[in-house]
Structure 1
Amino acid sequence: MTVACRGSAVHVDGHHPLRSVLRLLRAHRARVVGAVLVFPVKDSPQWLMPVVTAHVIDIVVDGGPLRDLGVWAAVAFVALLQNYWTHVLYTKLFMGAVRQIGADLRNALTARLQSLSIGFHSRTSSSIVQTKVVRDVENIELALQQVTHPVLAQTTVVTGAIVMTALSVPQFLPVYALTIPLAVVLRWGLARRSRQRNEDFRRNVEHFASRVGEMATLLPITRAHGLEATAQARIAEGAEGVRTSGYELDVLNGRFQSLSWVVLQLLSVSCLVIGAWAAVTGRVGITPGEVVQLSAYFGLITGGVTQVLMVLPVGQKGLESVRSVAEVLTEPDLEENAGKAVVASVGGALRFEHVGFRYPDAPEPALLDVDLDVRPGETVAFVGPSGSGKSTMLNLALGFLRPTDGRLLLDGVDAATLDLRTYRRHVSVVPQESVLFEGSIRENVTYGLHDVPDERVRQALVDANAAEIVDDLPDGWHTVVGERGARLSGGQRQRIAIARALVRDPRVLLLDEATSALDSESEALVRDALARLMRGRTTLVVAHRLSTIRGADRIVVLDHGRVVEVGDHDALVAAGGRYARLEHAQRT
């Protein structure tokens, strides 16, 4: 799945994570190629210093000349000093690409999450989504940062060592080749077991994040019922799962790293002994300095391979995070809007034409053959017992759900042919419990809008009966409301939400139990504000409290997904049917 993101494209395949990483790097090839070209110059002291050391030793053994000593000292100084500037340049180039890849991934995930259906978000914990956007992208950045450097360093050292050894003592080249099969065997041994351990650890972390989010949401209920011990036990169970899977992964990585180090160090010591034996016996004509050079090169090679193998667990974690990110970027449950007609204006007419809807895996349909015509500017209320289909009607009207039978017409046009994102710009929703983000009151009221005049914001607050809230605060509408509006009461949050709807001047308004959670005084203020908000707008209302919908133009009574009665309050009460029984039950 390819996701457009700020002029670039992010393509991630969970089945081929390494290929996906290479594709991400290729998207920033100019910086990456520049970094790769700079790296051998930056790291030249790694392979050059053994040559300098060998010549200095031979000069000492031979007793001069001192002029050559000065030449090799100058070579060493230049090689070391240039490392500062080239290393800074390499960091700017490569880490610039890595950080941009991280930003591209986060932007692509955000864009994808905004395109996925409400069904996906209802079945996926927000804590898991947060973990993917924050932790998994960070793991990918760390893997690129920590794995690439030793791989490039080892490539530089091996190349320099092979070239210099081929020029001086070519007989020792086969000894270097022993490191390659050893590294491949060790890498294969890790990969065979590491993927499953990394996946188990990631799943446990996501499960734990979900429980932490659940704990934070339920904290007031937990404390109110004295269930602190129960909440702690649930978190402890999740933490134990993370501990166990993390410990098993750590032990596997520890065994692999220790085995890699021991095997390669034994090989390094063997190279030193073989070089010394060759020099002493005269089997190969090499000088004492060349023995030191060979030993140093082999130490660098084995050390480099060891370093690469040591960071492979980080790379494995990064690849697992690529798979995790791919789960979102390739999730097929999209709200399809691309290529559909843009809605420039909305009149407010809605037509449910023999609409039916069944949730996935549900034994019974949520709605069945609903035929309803809502006229522009009309207020239509939906009532009925829990599970009768009221909220499903609102979600269909908002385009969050698509009919599985029949069709929904918006101003006479089939909703399936429209880009519903553009339709929703003319719609406002006031839910049962309005959520505010952590910002000022003004920022919450004008959320998503630009250059809104102060007079318009003030009028929206007045019409929402929220002006007094602002006037009583020391910083007025610049007061920060706290996370989810925690510094305001439920009634105050609801009135701010109504002001947010008013400032948009919507043509269609959806009210979902907008007053059910309020006390009597707050309810009166909110109902008065809603009356102003509903004036002249097509309004769909879901309510359990029938007293709040007496003034609706029509009331639709639902039962088991079917429309059983339609009419205004007086007519339905006079009919003595389902609505009349509900109304009587609430009065008594």
Structure 2
Amino acid sequence: MSDTPSKKRQPLYSEADKRNMRWFWQGYLRKHSGKLVLVLVLILVQGLVYQQFLAMTEDGLRVIFESGAMRDLIEVCVVVFLLFAVRGVVSFLAPMITVKISNQAIYEMRRDLIGHLMSLDLAYFERTKSGEILQKLVTQTQQIGVFVGLGVAGALRDAVTVVVVSGYLIWKNPILFVSAIVVLPFIIMVMNFVSDRVKQAQGEAEEALGGYMNGIEETVNGMRTVKIARQEEVEKDRLMRGTDAIRRLMNRVQVTQALILPSIDLSSAFVYVLVIGGGGYMVLSPDYDVDGAGIITFLLGMVMVFDPARLLAQFFGGLQSNLVLLDRVRNLYDQESSIRDAEGAKTAFDTGGDIVLKNVSFSYSPDHPLFEGLNMAFEGGKVSAIVGSTGSGKTTILSLLSRLYDVKGGDITFGGTPIRDLQVAALRGAFSVVAQDIVIFNASIWDNIRYVNPEASDAQVWQAAEDAEIADLIRARGETPVGPKGAQLSGGQKQRIAIARAFLRDAPILLLDEATSALDQATEERIKSALARLTKGKTTIVVAHRLSSIADADRIFVLESGQLVEQGQHAELLAENGLYARLYQAQKKGYDGR
């Protein structure tokens, strides 16, 4: 006997599916209940048109076969034409309304998703592929919208058609109709079979598509390195492997869905044989009051039932795929930010007070602690610098101060107020930041500077640009966009935009993370006086690699592997002849040797 457990068949609609459908209905569709009722009425009209068409067809056939009156035949033709004119108008109005409803629902869903996304902490974005986020906000929501707008309206129309026409056929000949639906259990079995496989394959396809989109983004963003390293073929092969995986998975989805139609066609053929054979017997037998017109009409009715039934089957196959998409979109709400305001958090605090780290512990992963019992104090209104080797935790301290991450132990206070007692928005509003990782938008330099303070006057923007030594470049470029991620700018120009932003924001606490790392020494000297004006009277914390740039700091903290190993002023640290002195001498020797 095999030890392999048998695979348990999943229910057609899982609890998660039902929960997600309730969420979508209650959040985005229920408010449009009045319009949806109107759509249902229009669809019922369509169904009645079909029923009346069958009745008129039977009357027309009897005119042809029996009475032969031309006037009666013309009347039947006119009525049939009017019926289909009504159906044409209704067929336009119903999907038009549902498309508008679905587009509004998807707009609101994206609005809510974006709002929730903006509330998540930095850790979520660092562990989540950007391709996955793009999928949720763009492709998956759009596919759901198209399905709801057109697919659901069509499915309702088909379902009503099946019910109304089937009811008419039962009324006309219940024995023949019951004989014709013996294939229904087989159709249900096929639908269950297809649903299981579509869900599984669609989930795998979405995973592959997310990885593929992330790979494209990585390749595009790193194209400079790709070109220099001549790795075009490597990247091409990598992306083509992702393309091939998506092709194979989508083949599985679509081939599985394709099983539906031939199965129903085969069932239809069986039904038509039963109707023709059984109906023919009823016409020939004196025991039944059935004529040729009735059987032809019944056959036409069965065609009108099975055609929408085929479309309904396709709809339910597509529904399984869209339930997978809905689940993935809905799962974004399972992500919650760990950075939240405490109850009664303060909006005001002493922005000029000392910033103190008390016994701070922190780690990005439990297995690799970065800080354990770290103690530091940055004096209010003074310039403090943090130096150390790569990975020592310099930038992490700035992230903890601005609550991009929360400490695992200990506390951080601002003017004696614990950081957790402050509203996050108020805390971050007290900072101006010049970071080495500069976000530049594909807009003009002017707009990039103004981004941090949209309400600033033109004079304020020009002053910030002058202070950062980038006003001449603005005059030269005008309104010309700087390219995606500032591709048309040098590293130094990007950093001067960041410095100009700090001037324009003019917050009481200034964080400089490698603020001049991309500037040559001549440019650094030119803006040194501007930086001095920027830091005057503010609590300034500088993370620097170039130690000569922080020689005038009021206090310098030296980190090594997450531990504070030295602190003091420049001259004091040189006299100690410790790590700082060794780093300084090594850099000085490097500059002198050029």
Structure-1-length-normalised TM-score: 0.91
Match of 1:26 in 2: 30
Instruction: State the secondary structure of the residue aligned to 1:541.
Output: strand
Question: Does structure 1 residue 418 correspond to structure 2 residue 422?
Answer: yes
For residue 436 of structure 1, report the CA deviation from its aligned partner. Answer: 1.2
Paired-residue identity, %: 27
Match of 2:360 in 1: 355
Does the 8 Å contact 2:16/2:327 carry over to 1?
A: yes
Does the 8 Å contact 1:355/1:368 carry over to 2?
A: yes
Distance 2:448 2:266 in 1: 60
Match of 2:536 in 1: 535
Deviations 1:449-491 (A, max 9, x none): 4443211111111112111111112xx2x33222112222222
Does the 8 Å contact 1:442/1:457 carry over to 2?
A: yes
Change (3 A) 1:368 1:169: same
Change (3 A) 1:86 1:249: closer
**Residue of 175, 178, 194 corresponding to 1:190:** 194
Map 1:124-203 → 2, pairs under 5 A: 124-175=128-179, 177-178=181-182, 180-203=184-207
Match of 1:115 in 2: 119
Instruction: State the secondary structure of the residue aligned to 1:503.
Output: helix
Match of 1:312 in 2: 316
Question: Does structure 1 residue 223 correspond to structure 2 residue 227?
Answer: yes
For residue 340 of structure 1, report the CA deviation from its aligned partner. Answer: 5.2
Q: Which AA in structure 1 matches 2:246?
A: V
Instruction: State the secondary structure of the residue aligned to 1:472.
Output: helix
Change (3 A) 1:220 1:138: same
Distance 2:527 2:204 in 1: 49
Distance 1:225 1:234 in 2: 16
Distance 2:279 2:223 in 1: 69
Does the 8 Å contact 1:45/1:76 carry over to 2?
A: no
Q: Which AA in structure 1 matches 2:492?
A: G
Distance 1:265 1:307 in 2: 17
Distance 2:559 2:315 in 1: 61
Change (3 A) 1:519 1:30: farther
Bigger CA drift: 509-518 or 114-123?
Answer: 509-518
Does the 8 Å contact 1:433/1:490 carry over to 2?
A: no
Distance 1:492 1:265 in 2: 73
Change (3 A) 1:520 1:322: same
Instruction: State the secondary structure of the residue aligned to 1:365.
Output: strand
Change (3 A) 1:440 1:35: farther
> Cα RMSD (Å) of the superposition?
2.5
Distance 1:180 1:519 in 2: 79
**Residue of 260, 263, 270 corresponding to 2:274:** 270
Change (3 A) 1:168 1:412: same
Does the 8 Å contact 1:186/1:260 carry over to 2?
A: no
Map 1:146-545 → 2, pairs under 5 A: 146-175=150-179, 177-178=181-182, 180-337=184-341, 341=345, 343-344=347-348, 347-349=351-353, 350-361=355-366, 363-447=367-451, 449-473=453-477, 476=478, 478-525=479-526, 527-545=528-546
Distance 1:291 1:543 in 2: 90
Change (3 A) 1:98 1:230: same
Distance 1:53 1:340 in 2: 75
Deviations 1:214-245 (A, max 9, x none): 11122111211222222222222222222222
Change (3 A) 1:450 1:333: closer
Instruction: State the secondary structure of the residue aligned to 1:556.
Output: strand
Distance 1:27 1:124 in 2: 33
Question: Does structure 1 residue 550 correspond to structure 2 residue 551?
Answer: yes
For residue 179 of structure 1, report the CA deviation from its aligned partner. Answer: 5.5
Does the 8 Å contact 1:98/1:145 carry over to 2?
A: yes
Query: Where does structure 1 lack aligned partners over 5 or more consecutive residues?
Result: 1-11
Instruction: State the secondary structure of the residue aligned to 1:358.
Output: strand
Does the 8 Å contact 2:556/2:569 carry over to 1?
A: yes
Bigger CA drift: 379-388 or 24-33?
Answer: 24-33
Q: Which AA in structure 1 matches 2:330?
A: A
Q: Which AA in structure 2 matches 1:291?
A: I
Distance 1:489 1:48 in 2: 74
Distance 1:524 1:179 in 2: 86
Distance 2:530 2:244 in 1: 50
Query: Where does structure 2 lack aligned partners over 5 or more consecutive residues?
Result: 1-14, 590-594
Change (3 A) 1:334 1:90: farther
Change (3 A) 1:75 1:322: same
Deviations 1:2-23 (A, max 9, x none): xxxxxxxxxx957844444444
Deviations 1:165-209 (A, max 9, x none): 344333334245446433321210112222111111111111111
Instruction: State the secondary structure of the residue aligned to 1:406.
Output: strand
**Residue of 36, 43, 47 corresponding to 1:39:** 43
Q: Which AA in structure 2 matches 1:483?
A: P
Match of 2:9 in 1: none
Instruction: State the secondary structure of the residue aligned to 2:505.
Output: coil
Match of 1:574 in 2: 575
Does the 8 Å contact 2:467/2:527 carry over to 1?
A: no
Question: Does structure 1 residue 563 correspond to structure 2 residue 568?
Answer: no
For residue 334 of structure 1, report the CA deviation from its aligned partner. Answer: 3.9
Deviations 1:18-57 (A, max 9, x none): 4444444335333323322222224543333222211111
Does the 8 Å contact 1:507/1:537 carry over to 2?
A: yes
Change (3 A) 1:15 1:53: closer
Does the 8 Å contact 1:346/1:507 carry over to 2?
A: no
Distance 2:541 2:94 in 1: 60
Bigger CA drift: 209-218 or 531-540?
Answer: 531-540
Q: Which AA in structure 1 matches 2:567?
A: V
Bigger CA drift: 235-244 or 258-267?
Answer: 258-267
Distance 1:210 1:96 in 2: 32
Distance 2:20 2:276 in 1: 40
Instruction: State the secondary structure of the residue aligned to 1:28.
Output: helix
Change (3 A) 1:529 1:281: farther
Distance 1:434 1:546 in 2: 21
Distance 1:327 1:126 in 2: 16
Does the 8 Å contact 1:264/1:306 carry over to 2?
A: no
Question: Does structure 1 residue 101 correspond to structure 2 residue 105?
Answer: yes
Q: Which AA in structure 2 matches 1:403?
A: V
Does the 8 Å contact 1:14/1:326 carry over to 2?
A: no
